[in-house]
Structure 1
Amino acid sequence: MALALIQMKFAVLRRDLSGPRATWVFSGAVAGLAMAASTIAMATVDAPDLGTVRDLLAVLFALWTLGWMLGPVATGQPVLRAEQFALQPIPRRRLALGLLGAGFVAVTAVVSLVAFAALLVFGLRLGTVPALVSVPALLLQLTLAVLLSRLMGRLFGALARSRVGAVLGAVLTATMLVVASSGWIVFSALDAVLRTGFSPVFSTVVRALPSGWGAVAVEASARQDWLMTGLPLAGLVLLPAVLWVAWNRSLGPARWSRPTVRGSSADRAAPRGRASLSPTGAVYAKELRTYARDPQRLQSLIVPPVFAVLSALVPLAFGSTVFLPFMGALTALMGAATCANLYGQDGTALWLTLQTPGSERADVRGRQLAWIVVFAPLSLLLTAAGIAVAGQPDLNPWALTATFALLGGGAGMVPLVGIAQLTPGPDPRAAKNAAADHSDVAGQAFSMLFLALTTAVPALCVTLAGHLLHNPSLLWAGVPVGVVTGWVAYAMLGQAAHRNLRKRGPELLFLMRTGKQQQQPKPGQAGASFSKTLPVHRQCLLWISFLAGCIALFPQALVPTLMKLSGHVEPLWFLALHMRPEWQWPTVFLMYTIGVLAFTVAARIAFIAIKAARAA
């Protein structure tokens, strides 16, 4: 049984490596191997005390284990699940063993094995006996991570169907995004850690965690402390055994979840007041209820403010409050990104709009109004709180300008991108276990981030001009300009969205019903997904160029420029600001050049693909 499931997982893996998800699989594998190589490099650093290296490895292994635990929140349930074999006469223990074996057949498992090989490198550094001890330790660490991932997947799969579970999943998702985007800055203090080591309390905590037991056993064997060698290894055997029993008993349908929404009478559910007098008001009332009831939409509401607050708090570890005033702007920007697939989230319910002629405008405007009502109070409140806490008055016009402009731009872009780049997924009535179980919207989110930022450029240019000319009136003029440009984006982009919906409505409904793979573009029309005409290597180059352009142009070029112009320089994770003063501006211009070149490469690949699709 175990062999059959492992063979099934190999078949799925081969399909992923040659199918439409190959780009993301290869990109994730490259990024994971780079992080694994960094983990191995940490096992070779020089430190006055080898206990510091042990603690550093324990911290890194804790992060890898945490990634396995939180992975099901973002990636969803594994491909092979116990529910799929519910009607088969398979003993539960054999099924559990087969599913566990299939869990090791994955790119993530290979990458994690390479990362945990840092334990072997650390053991070889200490001697023959520690190297021998490290081999079972690293295998047990990987087994522990896989079992924790399976158990957490069962738990989150049940919780995701409730509102509490949706909120919990959103907080964890935002935390993972912050760790992925900003967590690496903690290594800027690596030199100080290697000289002085971690604090005694922190060192005790990371060694007490199961993820640190392998490093403790290897380091203890070098000191010939056999008690501290045997106890962690015994724990690494006993704990996976306990987790195995728990996971074995959890197989089968989850019974601890309950329906998200309970029935309500038609009288209580009907819109009241002005909402009952206009089609736009009816859509607005429906959207507000959806934000409060649907787990997926609730996650879209919770992730942006949590991500903004955590991202602004990370620089506080370095004593910097420069990002606090921009929490509201970041909330509006992430709110647009998380709602990029607004129409795709509703599934085939789009047919209700199409069956009512002339209702496209009311549908788009109602969704825009609901988005503004949901995210504007959060953004403005966080902006006010950040301004009050930061105590940097010269940043206030920048923060307010960006917030107002991004709110309007986001409200305009959300329906437009949701229609133009609709990604099909399961209907809301289908069981949802995680964000990735709905549809792959990474491309939409990246597009939304870039497009929404462009709507704030005119207002920010006015503020920049006021700063360069030392004109306070012009500096604060960016705020009303941001309000005006936001309103223009709201009106004009919304108009383009409802016209696009009226024109492409039946096509979008067909896409939602049949899926992206079965959609056939019309002759002379750019295909529904021009990336399908690209080979895998050009898809990888397209996304790598786009990501490199985003990183180089915005955080590594634009932000240091604003800091140097404002006079408030905080090096943090900005490469240019860590250079000597005479090299800072050249480094900034180099980042601008890299960003522009990367976007040029991505645009050229995209235009060639679109031209080829039209010619076909």
Structure 2
Amino acid sequence: MAVTLIIRMKITVLRRSLARTGVHWMYSGTVIGLLVAVGTIGIATLDAQHPRTVGDLLCAVFALWTIGWILAPAYGGQPLLRAEHFAVLPLPRRRLAHGLLASAFAGAAPLVTLVAFAALVMFASSAGVTAVLVAVFGALLQLTLVVLLGSLAGRLFGALSRSRLGTVVSAVLHSVLLVAASSGWIVFIALDSVLLSGFSAGFSGVVRTAPTGWAVVAVEASSRSDWPMTALPLAGLVALILVLWLLWNQSLGPVRWTQTIRATQGSAAAIRTPSSWAVSGRTGAVFLKELRTWQRDSRRLQSLVISPTFALLTCLVPLAFGSTSFLPFIGVLTALMAAVTSVSLYAHDGTALWLALVLPDSERADVRGRQLAWLVLFAPMSLVLSAVGIAFSGSIELWPVALATTCAVLGGGAGLLPLIGLTQLTPVADPREAKRSGADQPGLAGQAFVMLLLTLCLITPATTAAVAGHLLDSLTLRWGSIAIGAGTGALCYVQLGRNAQRSLTRRGPELLQLMRTRKEDVRSKAGTASLIKAMPRSRQRLLWTCFSIGCIALFPQSLAPLLMKMSGDVAKVWFLALYMPTQWQWPVIALMFAIGAFFLALAVRICVTGLRQLRHEARSKASAE
């Protein structure tokens, strides 16, 4: 009875949360998951020269699905139903464990995973009825295994999220997921060679020894009528599930993982901030406050970790093809990710904005202090990573463009951060109410998109000068691009900071009211509606389509082959221009750049038009009142 009630409660909470946050996110995620699951089934139908290759490939893919279940709580936050919700009810721990585990099977994710694990049945279909029955039993065991692992991981990550260590771990996992999502095309490139030559003996042994490969081993053994080797892996899965069940049952006891870790004044974790050399006056006070906030607030600490981790992993991926062309741009990508992930600078402070508003003439100090703190944290990191990447790459031709774009992104990001954070403010959970996960920031995609787009526009002058210097073989243009990048960054820092100061002075009380209430009607009245949310659905789809096409044409199909051509270190991979005859490569790169710039400009035009409409509606409502 209790199990049924808990499952019904999970479905009710899920339905109401979807009605509040938007059901289209669940539908789109389910469709994408089903497409990946169908691709997993397709792997089981591949033809390979080596007899063990398809089995090894399935073992590896099943391991990736399992890793996805383990890492999902780090991104999506804790599950909807937790043991703490039932603390005052007289439920035995074993019955509660049964109910919570059964409720974990209710949802789209287990269904999609079951479809993916049906690849095991497809793999066994050519070996007879017995192998199919073994595959069905193995698929159900694997589904139970991943759900148990995901539940335990959710319990663990929920506890770690209250400590700095947990925040760092969560940020690293987010970076790995982002890199996997942006560089997943490498799997398809390597697939052809794997089907021809097969995996190495060491890799094959590892993926088959892991529990995620035991079901595949059992199916292959049943096709050979090797019944001891059929039963042994399945018995191992059953035993592992029982062990995980006992751990899950024990984890629902007295809560010992949820003690918040705080740094005390006398502890080794106490924050040490500069004092003697810091900027004096009000700006210095905001600067020191921001430095402490960056190290204490879990959401800002995630940004501090995600930026260099994502940049390092992304620029190291091309080494799989023997290309070092992207190493000089580790610092650029670090600064760019730092700007994108820090765009909600004011939103994350929540109602603490009143501290700046109650002091007369404190707006300038608040904006400049935040800018200085962001630069002090990310500028040395980006420049050092750029220097290290340049040193290891050995591509002297890329030094000017790497340094120029790093300076431009740092200055432009520091200028855009307060401006976008105020003009496109989207309220999120107050710091005292935040869940410490990526799931409590659903409305910040619009801000991040605007930041990414505008930052890329700001590096255009320096990049153009560097590319022109390479094509014209002009050292003056190459090294002059560094001065252009530094000048662009300095100008953006000063001028955009002034614009942010004016915006805070003019609309500070309205923004405070918006963050305090987090209501749509107040947001519209203040004229600070989230730009993306306020657009019609058709306009949103057009915006994201233009943005996706523009990014694909501009980055992988234009800038990536351009950098390879400049460095002389060419790896064709999936870059269209590099497959063309030599005389057509530069024109194709230019064409892809023009296509990317056109679609991104169209996306900017859509955003500007929507912003004008919002301001017109806000003025109309204000005049009517």
Q: Structure 2 length normalisation: TM-score?
A: 0.91
More displaced stretch, 151-160 vs 471-480: 151-160
Q: Tell me whether 1:355 sits opposite 2:338 in the alignment.
A: no
In the TM superposition, residue 515 of structure 1 has moved relative to its aligned partner by 2.0
Q: Which has the higher contact order (CA 8 A, sep 6+)?
A: 1
| Of 466, 470, 474, the match for 2:469 | 466
Question: Whole-Å Cα distance in 2 between the matches of residues 391 and 269 of structure 1?
Answer: 37
**Which amino acid letter does the alignment assign opposite residue 390 of structure 2?**
I
Contact 2:453-2:600 within 8 A present in 1 as well: no
What is the CA distance between 1:405 and its match in structure 2?
A: 0.9
| Residue 514 of structure 2 corresponds to residue 511 of structure 1 | yes
Kindly provide the CA deviation profile for residues 477-528 of structure 1, in whole angstroms up to 9, marking residues without a partner as x.
0001111101011111111112112222222222222225463412xx7551
Q: Distance in 1 between matches of 2:549 and 2:334?
A: 23
5 Å-filtered alignment, 1:230-249, equals: 230-249=231-250
CA contact (8 A) 1:423 1:440 kept: yes
How far residue 309 of structure 1 moved from its aligned partner, in angstroms, is 1.0
Task: Name the SS for the 1:50 alignment partner.
Answer: coil
**Does the 8 Å CA contact 1:62/1:211 hold for their aligned counterparts?**
yes
The 8 Å contact of residues 126 and 222 in structure 1, kept in 2 or not, is answered as: yes
Q: Which residue pairs with 1:450 in the alignment?
A: 453
Question: What runs of 5+ residues in structure 1 fail to find an aligned partner?
Answer: none
What CA distance in whole angstroms lies between the structure 1 residues aligned with 2:469 and 2:511?
Answer: 45
Task: Give the structure 2 partner of residue 414 of structure 1.
Answer: 417
Cα 1:533–1:349 shift into 2, 3 Å = closer
Q: Is the 8 A contact 1:557 1:592 kept in 2?
A: yes
Q: Which residue of 2 is the match for residue 221 of structure 1?
A: 222
1:500 counterpart letter in structure 2: S
Contact 1:341/1:441 (8 A) holds in 2 = yes
Give the distance between the partners of 1:508 and 1:251, measured in 2 at CA: 42
What is the identity, as a one-letter code, of the residue corresponding to 1:163? Answer: R
Q: Which moved more, 1:278-287 or 1:191-200?
A: 191-200
Cα distance, 1:567 vs. partner? 4.3
Q: Find the aligned partners of 1:298 and 1:248 in 2 and give their Cα distance.
A: 32
Structure 2 residues without counterparts, runs of 5 or longer: none
Number of equivalent positions: 613
**Greater CA deviation, 448-457 or 317-326?**
448-457
**Residue 221 of structure 2 aligns to which amino acid in structure 1?**
A
Q: What TM-score does the superposition give when structure 1 sets the normalisation length?
A: 0.92
Note the 1:361-380 alignment, pairs <5 A.
361-380=364-383
Residue 252 of structure 1 and its aligned partner are, at CA, apart by 5.5
Structure 1 residue aligned with 2:153: 152
Matched, 1:401 2:410: no
Q: Which residue of 1 aligns with 2:502?
A: 499
Matches for 1:424-435 after TM superposition, within 5 Å: 424-430=427-433, 432-435=435-438
Q: What is the distance in 2 between the residues matched to 1:520 and 1:405?
A: 33
Match of residue 394 from structure 2: 391
Compared CA separation, residues 601 and 486, structure 1 to 2 (3 A): closer
Q: Does 1:289 align with 2:329?
A: no
Q: Aligned ranges for residues 309-348 of structure 1 at < 5 Å? A: 309-348=312-351
Please state whether the residue corresponding to 1:570 is helix, strand or coil: coil
Task: Provide the residue aligned with 2:104 in structure 1.
Answer: 103
Task: String of CA shifts for 1:176-196, please: whole Å, max 9, x gaps.
Answer: 111111133033121221122
SS at match of 1:273: coil
Residue 79 of structure 1: aligned partner: 80
Aligned CA RMSD, in angstroms, stands at 2.7
Aligned partners of 1:462, 1:490: CA distance in 2, in Å? Answer: 21
Deviation by residue 1:193-239 (Cα, 9 ceiling, x = unmatched): 11221111111111111111122212221111212211221222222
Instruction: Please give the residue correspondences for 1:133-172 in structure 2 after superposition, counting only pairs within 5 Å.
Output: 133-172=134-173
8 Å CA contact 1:170–1:300 kept in 2: the answer is yes
1:104 Cα offset (Å): 2.1
Shift of 1:439: 5.1
Q: Distance in 2 between matches of 1:540 and 1:241?
A: 46
Instruction: Give CA deviations for 1:55-106 in whole Å, capped at 9, x if unaligned.
Output: 1011111111111101111111122222222222322222222222222222
Q: Distance in 2 between matches of 1:516 and 1:227?
A: 63
Q: Can you list the C-alpha shifts for 1:375-431, whole angstroms capped at 9, x where unaligned?
A: 111111111111111111011111111111111111111212222222322332346
The aligned counterpart of 1:70 is: 71
Give yes or no for contact 1:424–1:439 (8 Å, CA) kept in 2.
no
Residue 44 of structure 1 aligns to a residue whose secondary structure is coil
1:529 CA drift (Å):
2.2
Contact 1:161/1:431 (<8 A) preserved = no
* Alignment map for 1:126-137 (pairs within 5 Å): 126-137=127-138
For residue 337 of structure 1, what is the amino acid of its counterpart?
Answer: V
Change (3 A) 1:487 1:428: same
Amino acid of the structure 2 residue aligned with 1:154: R
Residue in 2 aligned with 1:481?
Answer: 484
Q: CA deviation at 1:440?
A: 4.4
Classify 1:565/1:386 alpha carbon distance in 2 versus 1 (closer, same or farther; 3 Å): closer
Match of 2:306 in 1: 303
CA positional deviation for 1:457: 1.0
What code does the residue aligned with 2:121 have?
L
Q: Which string of whole-angstrom CA distances, capped at 9 and with x for unpartnered residues, describes residues 421-470 of structure 1?
A: 22322332346342323554333223322221111111111112212221
C-alpha distance after superposition, 1:114-163 (max 9, x if no partner)? 22221121111333222221112112212211111111111111112212
Residue 611 and residue 402 in structure 1: after superposition, are their counterparts in 2 closer, same or farther (change >3 A)?
closer
- The separation in 2 between residues aligned to 1:360 and 1:416, in whole angstroms, is 12
After superposition, the Cα gap between the structure-2 partners of 1:341 and 1:260, relative to the gap in structure 1 and judged at 3 Å, is farther
Check whether the contact 1:322–1:390 (CA below 8 A) recurs between aligned residues. yes
Quickly say closer, same or farther: Cα 1:227–1:270, change in 2 above 3 A.
Answer: closer
Counterpart residue type for residue 518 of structure 2? G
Q: 1:508 to 1:336 in 2, by over 3 A?
A: same
Contact 2:279 2:287 in 1 (8 A): no
